Amino acid sequence: SYELTQPPSVSVSPGQTASISCSGDKLEDKYAYWYQQKPGQSPVLVIYLDTKRPSGIPERFSGSNSGNTATLTISGTQAMDEADYYCQAWDSNTAVFGGGTKLTVL
Partner 1 sequence: QVQLVESGGGVVQPGRSLRLSCAASGFTFSTHSMHWVRQAPGKGLEWVAVISFDENNKYYADSLKGRFTISRDISKNTLYLQMDSLRAEDTAVYYCGRGGRSWNTEFDYWGQGTLVTVSS
Min dist CB 84 to partner 1, Å, is 8
Instruction: Assess 57 for contact with partner 1 (CB under 8 A).
Output: no
Q: CA-to-CA distance for 10 and 17, rounded, in angstroms?
A: 11
Looking at 24-60, which runs of residues are DSSP E strands? 33-37, 44-47
Q: CA-to-CA distance for 84 and 90, rounded, in angstroms?
A: 20
* Beta-carbon contacts of residue 93 (< 8 Å; ≥ 6 apart): none
Instruction: Assess 94 for contact with partner 1 (CB under 8 A).
Output: yes
Min dist CB 19 to partner 1, Å, is 19
Task: Say if strands 94-97 and 83-91 run parallel, antiparallel, or are unpaired.
Answer: antiparallel
- Draw the binding track, 15-44, toward partner 1 (x: CB under 8 A; -: no contact): ------------------x-x-x----xxx
Give the one residue of 16, 17, 51, 54 binding partner 1; rule: CB under 8 A. 54
The site for partner 1 (CB under 8 A) is made up of: 1, 33, 35, 37, 42-45, 48-49, 54, 84, 86, 88, 90, 93-100
